[in-house]
Amino acid sequence: MLKQFYKRGIYKIVDINRKMGFFFRRMKYLFHPDIHIGKKVRIGKNVKIGVLFGGSIRIEKFTEILDGCIIWTYGGDINIGSNCSINPYTIIYGHGGTTIGDNVLIAGHCMIIPSNHIFASPSLLIREQGLSELGINIENDVWIANGCTILDGVIIGTGSVIGARSVVTKDVEPNTVVVGAPAKKIKHR
């Protein structure tokens, strides 16, 4: 009987430490002038949120960003809506602007990159030709499954589902399911 109480007590301490960890990880961003973190945002371990070369980051209430995610502006703005879930090791850059709506579920190991290298001239190094930065817009109630890549200039419509390991290169209509590389529509929800 005593062992059960002991185990429950240890569990409560671990749970409190976990909650305090979210609190302290959130605190380090609260005073940055270009980062807004809403109420009850949960930030996991080893998450990197940073303003690089300008831009801003806005994360609304009740969103969770789990372990190992990277969110860097690279001169653009990143807006993440409320009640979103960004799972471990997802990378979100801001180059041309990234907007993620409310209630969006992003599985682990996804990449959201709103820029592409220009490589039109074979006589110049690719790194010397610059970037195209059109931006990415992910509307409300979208599920992006594990390992997806969302490329520059894409709009993903409300209620869409992106299948695992898909590479999204074109706009996705609202309430559709797309899969593959490049992603193609397989059905309407």
DSSP class of 126: G
Give the mean pLDDT of 166-176: 98
Statement: residue 9 has pLDDT above 60: no
Can you tell me whether residue 61 is helix, strand or coil? coil
Residue 1 corresponds to which amino acid?
A: M
Give the mean pLDDT of 179-188: 96
Of the residues 36, 95, 109, 117, only one is catalytic, namely 117
The pLDDT tens digits of the residues spanning 34-66 come to 999 999 999 998 999 999 999 999 999 999 999
Q: Specify the pLDDT at position 24.
A: 63
Statement: residue 153 has pLDDT above 80: yes
Rounded to a whole number, what is the largest CA-CA distance in the chain? 77
Per-residue exposure over 27-58, b if at least 16 CB sit within 10 Å of its own CB, e if not: eebeeeeebebeeebbbbeebebebeeebbbe
Q: What is the pTM of this model?
A: 0.86
Report residue 23's pLDDT band, with 50, 70 and 90 as the boundaries. Answer: low
Domains of the chain: 2-138 (2.160.10)
Q: Is 117 a catalytic residue?
A: yes
Mean pLDDT over each residue of the chain, to the nearest integer? 89
Q: Specify the pLDDT at position 32.
A: 81
Give the mean pLDDT of 85-100: 97
